[in-house]
Amino acid sequence: MGTIDVAVLDQDAHGIPAAEYAEILDRRLPEHEVRLAATPDEHRRYLREATVVAGRNIDAKEVSTAENLRLFACNSAGVDHLPLDAFAEQGVAVTNASGVHGPNIAEHVLGSVLTFTRRLDEGRRRQQRREWRRFQSFTELAGSTVTVVGLGAIGEAVVERFEGFDVETVGVRHTVAKGGPTDEVVGYGDLPDVLPKTDVLVLACPLTETTEGLIGTAELEGLPTDAIIVNIARGGVIETPALVDAIRSNAIHGAALDVTDPEPLPSDHDLWGFENVFITPHVAGHTPKYWERRADVLVENLERITETGEYEGLRNQVL
């Protein structure tokens, strides 16, 4: 198979320009044509012309007009927002970015937890005040229990990075029989049983009918009052009003939120006002190496397509 026309849509999953990704692909795919759709006109034209499109958002109408499209390389791990029926009707293969977010997001989780336990935010505040006044850390991780909800690539990467901290780990997943890297694996139905012993609750699951509103008033009340919640899943996994109430009443120690519901979080939302809530604007996955890992998937798949001429059996293929 000869040259493949690859179009990169300009906006990444959260509105971040994809120029760097296009440059990486252009460098690593010299035998193919890589074009960045940087304007609305280019977006429409490249969708009509390209054989492979890399991006996150595309609607059913766009799929129907993409005459040459054979592969949509989704930039996110989740594909529930995509018109999969339209892709199937057009015979377009779809891949996702599962696995590329593990190292970067896991480091974000660890950084958030250490900020809480070592009170690094308080140290920063005292530095800004030029105040040499000692303070005690909140706790130590050693001997604590970390519960990770969702044992996909991200959840497993989180568990791996906690291994050196002498903690007990509990994994929560749909199919307990699959096991996992944690000391204990339980199903979603058993989550209430493990919450009372959970010091750090990490949410790393997809947003589904099962996980939407998974952490509500009852679950927050089930946690110890010194528990920390880190959400790098989706905002809807936590019932936001219940979380606000829990923070306000000191029912938990604090929360680190890279995702929120609603998102973006309105500037007048109550969550902004708490010193023990760390908010980042859905950027846990965005590091320079993330772009390279994302390119790894597409480069590998294009090599396979070039060799076989088939759009089947691709890495991370979901359709």
User: Strand pairing of 93-95 and 52-55?
Assistant: unpaired
Query: Given strand 33-37, what is the order of strands in its sheet?
Result: 33-37, 5-9, 52-55, 71-74, 93-95
Is the distance from CB of 74 to CB of 96 less than 8 angstroms? yes
163 has which bridge partners?
A: none
Give the integer Cα–Cα distance in Å for 33 and 195.
51
pLDDT for the residue 11 = 62
pLDDT for the residue 197 = 98
pLDDT for the residue 78 = 79
In 3-state terms the chain splits into helix, strand, coil percentages (rounded to 5) of 40, 15, 45
**Positive or negative, the Cα torsion across 111, 113, 114, 119?**
positive
Give the integer Cα–Cα distance in Å for 286 and 114.
20
Domains of the chain, first to last: 5-98+286-308 (3.40.50.720), 102-279 (3.40.50.720)
| Residue whose C-alpha is closest to residue 285's, from 153, 151, 164 | 153
Q: What is the pLDDT along the chain (319 residues), one digit of tens a residue?
A: 568 999 999 765 455 668 889 999 999 999 999 999 989 899 999 999 999 999 988 999 999 999 999 999 998 887 888 999 999 999 999 999 988 999 999 999 999 999 999 999 999 999 999 999 999 999 999 999 999 999 999 999 999 999 999 999 999 999 999 999 999 999 999 999 999 999 999 999 999 999 999 999 999 999 999 999 999 999 999 999 999 999 999 999 999 999 999 999 999 999 999 999 999 999 998 888 988 999 999 999 999 999 999 999 999 999 9
pLDDT for the residue 3 = 86
Question: ∠ CA(45), CA(18), CA(37), 5° rounding?
Answer: 10
Active-site option among 101, 253, 282, 286: 282
Judge whether 263 counts as a catalytic residue.
yes
For residue 31, give the H/E element and its range.
Answer: none
Distances (CA, A) of 241 to 173, 199, 250, 273: 25, 22, 14, 14
pLDDT for the residue 167 = 98
pLDDT for the residue 12 = 54
Active-site option among 20, 42, 263, 292: 263
pLDDT for the residue 264 = 95
Which DSSP symbol is given to 265?
A: P
Is the distance from CB of 239 to CB of 221 less than 8 angstroms? no
pLDDT for the residue 112 = 98
pLDDT for the residue 16 = 60
pLDDT for the residue 251 = 98
Tokens linked to 19: 């120029």
pLDDT for the residue 80 = 82
Neighbours of 301 (CB within 10 A): 21
Judge whether 161 counts as a catalytic residue.
no
pLDDT for the residue 10 = 73
Judge whether 304 counts as a catalytic residue.
no
pLDDT for the residue 283 = 92
Contacts of residue 261, Cβ cutoff 8 Å, sequence gap at least 6: 234, 235, 236, 238, 240
Query: Given strand 200-203, what is the order of strands in its sheet?
Result: 184-186, 168-172, 145-149, 200-203, 228-231, 254-257, 277-279
Active-site option among 43, 234, 253, 294: 234
Question: ∠ CA(7), CA(263), CA(58), 5° rounding?
Answer: 25
pLDDT for the residue 244 = 98
pLDDT for the residue 75 = 87
